[in-house]
Each structure stands twice: as structure tokens, then as C-alpha cells.
Amino acid sequence: GIVVVGDLVGQGSAQEQAVVGDTPNLAARLQALAEPGAVLIAEATKRLLGRTFELKSLGPRVVKGFGAEVIAWAVLRDAENVSRFDASHSLGMTPFVGREHEVAMLLDRWRNATDGEGQVALLSGEAGIGKSRILAALRERISDEPHIAIRYQCSPHHINDAFYPLTSHIRQAARFVDGESPGAKLDKLEALIARSASDATDIAPVLASLLLIPFEGRYPPLEMAPSEQKERTIAALNALFERLTKDAPVLALLEDAHWIDPTSLDAFGRLIDRIPSLRALLLITFRPEFLAPWVGRAHVASLQLSRFGRRQAIAMVERVAGGKGLAPEVLEQIVAKTDGVPLFLEELTKTVLESGLLREVAGTYALASALTPLAIPSTLQDALMARLDRLAPVKEIAQIGAAIGREFSYRLLEAVSPIKGPTLQSALGQLMAAELIHERGSPPEATYVFKHALVQDTAYASLLRSRRARLHADIARALEQRSANQSDAAPATIAHHYSEAGLAEPAARYWLAAAELALSRSAQTEAERYVDAGLAQVSRLADGSDRQSLELSLQIARANVLMLLKGYAAAETLAALTEAKRLLDGGFGSDLQRFTVLNGLCSANHQAARLDPALALAREIIEVANREKDTTYLMIGYRLQGVMLYYMGRNREALKSFAHAERYRDPVRHRPLSYRFGVDPGLDILAFKTLALLQLGLIGQADRVREEIRAELATHGHAPTVATFTFLSDMVAEDLLGNHLACERIGSALAAYCAEHQLEQIRTIVAEYRTCTRAILEPTIENIRVWRSAHEVILGFGGMCDESEYGAQLAEILLSAGDSVGAETALREAFAFVEQSGELYWLAELHRVDGQIALRRGPDRARAETCFQRAIDVARGQEARLLELRAAIDLARLWRDAGSAHDPRALLQSILAEIEGEGTRDVRNARALLAEIE
């Protein structure tokens, strides 16, 4: 194409005029026609520009040196209300044939959307069937209506990049430029947000973090867990979308959803839930292998595109041929070989027209020579390859672009291309003229997109394997160089190119970086895939420190992913942590990595109710911390040790360990650890200290610690921490004290808090406690069933701790409901669990409930007395005064009712003397029983 730029300062001198183009001779001839400040283009350039600019025809001009007249056009201004996508595709798209019914249905949905009844349309069909063409046709039909168009494009190279279609859209909409400063990008981002009348102060920091743009002091740090940041990001994206719909109806296109990443799938799923109340139509295209999870909803319509019939196929061939008929035998072969696939019809017709097989005669195309069996390609790939081959001088540029991806930037292409500058632009111009690629923007900030994924696939497949590997290596290094100067280069993209280049070590490093970035976005599914890819590359490396170090880091990343996806106690999580520890024990890794692995293994064993190994690991953490003289590690180590001792029923030792941990605790300095550990580990010390004090009967001291926790939570701001320690220090504490109504009240408020902050796992645990409380207060069959179902959900997380308490409560509730057989079964299972796990803190209660069952069965008073006495002995050994008192009350009643010679008053009074505080259910029951005996 030819672009002639006239004198920009109005003087019109030849020296000050700029000429850019493939044919300097024609440019020089047109130069004389350019007025000062004017931009002139030739017909070929007009075709490439589409509707990007408003143009004025200067008509045919006689130009010296050219046999035919040349049509020139003056460029007036940017076209208004035309998206870059439509502008680049408007004159180079597949002819529109035979899809009137589908477009009519979409127009009907659009009318509903503009009236405020938001709609979603799912458009499925095989590659090349015309999905994008239907979207363009819809855009053409509503082009005169006020609306806002948004396009999200998924990519096979970014199927594991969290939020890829969304971040890609924002970068294009904000018009980011390679090499821009973070400040310039923040300015553009805020301007983009302001277009929808949004308050940038709320949304900009979240989106800047998503786009990896440094804040440079403009916003405060986002101190939150990855899961919370993910939720805020999705909320910000949805808010931005919703605010756009208030200005005008929105037509949103999500293309190629079969390549969508899991996080974006989640985000669009939530948007689809909100669409009915918005002035928006969301169109989603995908291939048949994608199972859209939204099918069947009232506001979601599904359209499956079929192949063309013969009449439609012939009509399309005629349109591609410009209305000129083709030789019948050629037409028959095209129709037969393309099998009704629109893209194949278009490409094969162009291939035949370009091949020299036909000659134009009286407005039709006739055979120029005999038609041989191999004259017309038999597959779409063959047809595309034939067209590429006829562009031999620039074919390599198409191949390089294909190696980069479906979409590639001019800057990156130039960095790896053997040709540069005007020569490269000329090559790109030829590919655009052949309608194989489309351009957005202008070099050097231009971006190019293959007309269809199959075009890219064909160009890529034509590369020799050795050349392909070299190209990927060059692309990876160019991206690596860019990433040193920019914040938005995706490590997964660099990793992909290094992997394709066969360079395992840098590939593994970048897969690790991609996994860590995905984890920071709470994109666990994507992170798991990156880890798998990294470990596959590590397996190709020779043994040595580099391999072991990379493998260790990847195994730690795998463990972090699996903890979130499947829970600490999952077999896969333990396997990853165990493998990481094996590498650490082999002499690789840092103390920080050792601490991370030991902490994970300790938590995993605790969740799996393997308390002896968990305690040993906690003590190993303390050893590492002492060696490093690191107070944070010491706090964590003593905290973990104290928790294990508590569950083992060693309350006094647990309290000492918590005291050690508190010595190293700094509430202000350690508060940011909430985002690393999921909750504030310092408050975990206080919460379990509360439970240990209650077990010891030191109720007044426990209440003072609970007040300390509440005071810190009031200013904490980290939602998972607030929910977790409200649950432990209030709800669990009240449950331990037997205050079930208070437990229900706290649980109700806490459930609402968890729902508001989308803390699903904590909400589920709270729900289980609430159903337990209802079953205690009203032991009906239905309440028990609901509680057991809720508990099954908890077990689904992989956690087994607290099963002894669950077993004791279930047995006692079943007994209250009259199911003594079920109660005995539950109790036997709980005793077996205690034997296997070492979880002894609720063992006294198991023996006490066993005595209750004995009283119902027979009654067997002798056995009941033995069980109650055993419960008292176990509780006394643990100094668990509340549980000791609970068992003593049952034994005292048994003595009283049986007229025993034993003195129940002495039994109860001796235990009450050890308990600090009068406000618990068990203390009140003991006082009431003493009054009865008197």
C-alpha cells in the first residue's frame, strides 16, 4: 500500500515531505497531489485500512509511468464509533452467506438487552464454520445504534494465563505501548476507568496489580490473601462492566472460549449470573469440544452452526469470485472438497483464482489448461499452504508470526525477524493484501492477528523442526529482554517458547515463575499446570545442583497449589512435601525452603490427624529457627508445637509452648504474615491458648485472652483472620463451655460475615458447627441428618482433626434421640480414631458417653461407673478440669441414685475448687446437683 504524507507545516517543500511505501515510484508521483497537511493513499491501502478512517475519493488520476489510471484517496480523520477489530476486518472477511436466521435470533436477543433484559448467546461450531463472521454481521446490523462494543479474545497459547482475555482487553482498550513507564500506564488505566464514570481510587489499584504495573507510591499496598485479591479483582472487573451498561447498551464478545483459562471462566460465569439485570448482550463463541456450563439458563440461548448446503456453498464461491462464474468442473471440485466449511470455501476459491488455473473470459473464469486431479488442493491446510507458497518472499514472516502466536506485535516480530524496518512493513503489507493477517494500529505499535487460527496453524506447520526450535529460542530471548524493562511480560509465554525451543533449564525457571505468579492471583488450577510443565522440563536436565534446586522449588510450588486445591491432608500434597523434604535432606535448598516444607508437612500431618509425626516436625522447625536465630520461625514453631500438644491432651505443656511463642510475637510486625499463611499466626497462638486455658478450668484467664483477640480483630482488616479467630475464640470456646445458644448466635453473625467476604471454607465449617448445635438443642432425626451431611462436607476438605469430639457429640445426640445402637457404633469408631491418631484431648468425653450408653443398656450401672471413673482419670491426667467436672457430675448422680456409700459432694467440691469462674453450664450443673444432695 502507498501512504503519502504532505507537508505537515504547510510549506509544501519536497525535502519536508515524507514518503512511506512499497512502491516509491508511485509514492513520488502521488506526492505532487498532496496538499500541505494532507494524507493520501492508494486503492490497495484503502482496502487494508477498512473503516479505520474517513476517506474522500480524489477519483482516477493519470500518473506518469503507470499504464492505467490510479485512484487516490485523501485521509480526513479517524472514523468514529468503529472498533479496531471491525475496522481491520470489515473489508477482508468471509462473504456473508446463509446465516440470516442466526443473525435474526441474535438481533432479537439484542433488542431484549437494550430494553434492560440482559442476554447471553452461545455460538458453537467447528473451526472455520463462520462464528466470527456472524458476530461481524451483527455488528454491521446495529452499527447505527448507540452502543459500546467490548471484545475478549482467548488464545491457545494463554490457556493457563489467569484472566488472559480480560487483561488483554484492558491493555488494548487503555492503549498501552511497549516500553511505557508504569506512571504512564497508570494514567491510561485511570482514564479508561473514568470513561465509565467509575471511581478510579477503588478499582485502579486492583486492576494495576492484575496487570503487574508497579504502583510507584500512587496507591497503598494491597495487603490481602491471594484468594481475597482474586475476589476483589473479579468484583472490580464486573463493576467496570456494569457501569459501562449505564452509559449505553453493551455488546460483549468472548471469542474462542474453548481456550479460556479457568480463572476467566469463573469470572465470566459470575458476570453471566448478573447479566439479566444489565443492558448487555454477551456473545460467546467456541468449538464443540467445549462444554459450556451455562446451558439451560433462561437468559442464555444456544446456537450450533452447521455446515453449508450446496446452494449456500455455490453462493459463497460466487461472492469470493466477485460475482463471476467459475468453470463448472472447477466449481464442482471446490464444493465437493470443502464439504460446506465456509473458511475452506473462501480459501480454496482464492487459491484457485490465484493459481493461474483459470483465465477471465467475458465476465467468467474459464479453464486456462486441462484440469488435473491434483490441481485443486484437497484440504484446507493444503489450500492455505498453496497461498503461502505463492507468497514465498514473505512466507517466512508469516512463519515467524505463527511461532509467536495467533496475535503478535510488530516490535516482537522485528526483534526476531531477519528483515527490519520498511522491508518488514512491506512484507506485512503483502500478507495483509492476501488477507492472511489483519493489522491493528500502526508500526511500530501495530499488532497483527492471523485471519483464523487455522491460518496460523498452517504457517507454523510449514516450519522445519530445527528452524522452529531456533525461532522459539529467539522469541523467548526477545521476550526475556523485554521483561527486564517491563512489568507485563508473561513468564508463562517465555516458558512456552523455551520449552518449544528444547531449552529445558530456562523453560523450567520460567514455568516456576509462572506458577508463583498464578498462585499470587489465587489461580490454583493454572498454577498446577505450570508446575507440571516445569517438572516435565526438569526431568530432561542432567543431575546437578541446578536440577535439584529447580526441582525443589517446583515441588514446593506444587505443594502450595495442592494445599489450596485438595487440602493439607491430601495424599498428593503429602507426596509433594515429602519429595521436597527428600531434596532438602540431600543438602539442597535454603533454611527458608526447609522451614516452608516443614511447616507444610506439620500442618498436613495435623490435618490428617497424625499427631506424633506432626509434633516431631514442629520441633524440627524450632531447631531450624534456633539455628538461624529467627524470631518469626521460632514463633511459628512454638505455635505449631503448642497446637499439637493441645490436641494430644497435654494442656499444661501446650500452655508453656504458647508462652514461648508469645515471647517472639510482635502483633504489628507479624500482621502481614496473614497474607502468607492465610491467617495471622500470632492470633492463632492466642486462640489455642484460650482453648487450653478453658480445658484447664482457668476461665477468667481465658476470657481475658478472648478480649485481647477481639481488640486485635477490630482493627485487623484481613477477613480470613477475622472469621477464623472469631470462630475459634468465640464459637468453639462457647461450644466447649456448653453455651449452645451463644454458639448459635455467634455462628449466625459469622456465617453472614463469611458470605459477605466469600470465605467459603470457613463458612462451611461454621455451618457444620451450627447444625451440630441445632442437633444438640433438638435431637431430631432430621437435625441429625443435616448435621452429618454438613460434617461429610468438612471431611471432603481432607481434614480429620477434631474427629474424636465429633464422635462423642454424635454418640450423645443419637442417644438423646433414642438410637442407642447408632450411638454405640459412633463411639466405637471414635475410640478407633483416637487409637490411630493420638488425638486424646476429647478422650475423657468418649469414656463419659460410653458410661451414658451403659446406663441405657440394661442398665449396666457397674459398667457405667467404670466408664465415668475412667473419664475422670483421663481428664485429671490432662488437667482438663471442665471435662473432669462433666464426668464427675454423671458419676455423682449415679452414686446418688444408687444409694452408694461414696460421697458425691466431696467428688464435686474437690474439682470445683480447681476451676476459676462460675459462669459455665457444667459449674452451674454441679452447684445445682450439690444443692439437691444437701
Q: How far apart are CA 110 and CA 454, in angstroms?
A: 30
| Average pLDDT rounded to a whole number, residues 618-627 | 93
Beta strand 437-440 with 39-42: parallel, antiparallel or unpaired? unpaired
Q: Identify the band that residue 17 occupies on the pLDDT scale cut at 50, 70 and 90.
A: very low
- pLDDT score for 485: 52
- Long-range Cβ contacts of 489-498 (<8 Å, 24+ apart): 490/158, 490/161, 490/514, 491/517, 492/158, 492/160, 492/161, 492/517, 492/530, 493/157, 493/158, 493/161, 495/530, 495/533, 495/534, 496/157, 497/472, 497/473, 498/472, 498/473
- pLDDT score for 88: 40
Residue 620 vs residues 72, 614, 625: alpha-carbon distances, Å:
81, 10, 9
Q: How far apart are CA 890 and CA 584, in angstroms?
A: 53
Q: In what order do the strands lie in the sheet with 325-326?
A: 325-326, 364-367, 358-361
What is the pTM for the complete model shown? Answer: 0.72
Q: How far apart are CA 450 and CA 429, in angstroms?
A: 13
| Average pLDDT rounded to a whole number, residues 72-93 | 51
Q: Is 33 exposed, middle or buried (0-12, 13-18, 19+ CB in 10 A)?
A: middle
Longest dimension (CA), the chain: 130
> Can you tell me whether residue 360 is helix, strand or coil?
strand
Secondary element (H or E) of residue 23: none
- pLDDT score for 84: 35
pLDDT digits (tens, 9 = 90+) for 682-729: 999 999 999 999 999 999 999 999 999 999 999 988 888 999 999 999
Secondary element (H or E) of residue 568: none
Q: How far apart are CA 817 and CA 56, in angstroms?
A: 88
- pLDDT score for 614: 95
Q: For residue 846, which phi and psi values (nearest 5 degrees)?
A: -60, -45
Listed residue (822, 811, 766) closest to 790, CA to CA: 766
Given a cut of 50, is residue 16 above it in pLDDT? Answer: no
Which residues have C-beta within 8 Å of that of residue 144, sequence separation ≥ 6?
Answer: none
Given a cut of 60, is residue 471 above it in pLDDT? Answer: yes
CB of 560 within 8 A of CB of 790? no
| Average pLDDT rounded to a whole number, residues 205-221 | 89
| Average pLDDT rounded to a whole number, residues 350-356 | 83
Q: How far apart are CA 548 and CA 164, in angstroms?
A: 32
Higher-pLDDT residue of 207, 23: 207
Given a cut of 90, is residue 365 above it in pLDDT? Answer: no
- pLDDT score for 484: 60
Query: For the chain, what percent of residues have pLDDT higher than 70?
Result: 90
Higher-pLDDT residue of 216, 163: 163
- pLDDT score for 37: 65
Given a cut of 50, is residue 18 above it in pLDDT? Answer: no
> Can you tell me whether residue 63 is helix, strand or coil?
coil
Q: How far apart are CA 438 and CA 421, in angstroms?
A: 18
Neighbours of 864 (CB within 10 A): 24
Tell me the helix, strand and coil percentages in the chain, rounded to 5.
65, 10, 30
pLDDT digits (tens, 9 = 90+) for 238-264: 989 999 999 899 999 999 999 999 999
Q: Within 13 Å of residue 318, how many CA atoms lie on the same side as its CB?
A: 12
Given a cut of 90, is residue 370 above it in pLDDT? Answer: no
Q: Identify the band that residue 30 occupies on the pLDDT scale cut at 50, 70 and 90.
A: low
Which residues have C-beta within 8 Å of that of residue 191, sequence separation ≥ 6?
Answer: 174
pLDDT digits (tens, 9 = 90+) for 315-332: 888 888 888 888 888 888
Could you tell me the sign of the dihedral formed by the alpha carbons of 807, 813, 816, 821, in that order? negative
CB of 159 within 8 A of CB of 256? no
Q: Identify the band that residue 15 occupies on the pLDDT scale cut at 50, 70 and 90.
A: very low
Given a cut of 50, is residue 277 above it in pLDDT? Answer: yes
Given a cut of 80, is residue 14 above it in pLDDT? Answer: no
Q: Is 318 exposed, middle or buried (0-12, 13-18, 19+ CB in 10 A)?
A: middle
Q: How far apart are CA 934 and CA 905, in angstroms?
A: 9
Q: Identify the band that residue 472 occupies on the pLDDT scale cut at 50, 70 and 90.
A: very high
Q: Identify the band that residue 42 occupies on the pLDDT scale cut at 50, 70 and 90.
A: confident
Q: How many angstroms separate the first and last alpha carbons of the chain?
A: 109
Could you tell me the sign of the dihedral formed by the alpha carbons of 388, 391, 396, 401, in that order? negative
| Average pLDDT rounded to a whole number, residues 508-514 | 95
Q: Identify the band that residue 533 occupies on the pLDDT scale cut at 50, 70 and 90.
A: very high
Given a cut of 90, is residue 804 above it in pLDDT? Answer: yes
- CA-CA-CA-CA torsion for 423, 426, 430, 431, nearest 10 degrees? 70
Given a cut of 50, is residue 740 above it in pLDDT? Answer: yes
CB of 154 within 8 A of CB of 164? yes
Helices (H) and strands (E) in the chain, counts: 43, 16
Cell of 736: 466447649
pLDDT digits (tens, 9 = 90+) for 826-862: 999 999 999 999 999 999 999 999 999 999 988 899 9
Secondary element (H or E) of residue 191: helix 182-194
- pLDDT score for 216: 84
- pLDDT score for 41: 79
- pLDDT score for 46: 64
Q: CA-based angle 65:67:70, to the nearest 5?
A: 85
Q: Identify the band that residue 412 occupies on the pLDDT scale cut at 50, 70 and 90.
A: very high
- pLDDT score for 86: 44
Beta bridge partners of 447: 409, 440
Given a cut of 80, is residue 380 above it in pLDDT? Answer: no
Higher-pLDDT residue of 733, 679: 733
Higher-pLDDT residue of 264, 371: 264
Residue 906 vs residues 12, 340, 909, 911, 926: alpha-carbon distances, Å:
115, 95, 5, 9, 12
Q: Picking from 482-486, 633-637, 736-740, 903-907, which range would have the lowest pLDDT averaged per residue?
A: 482-486
The overall average pLDDT reported for the chain is 86
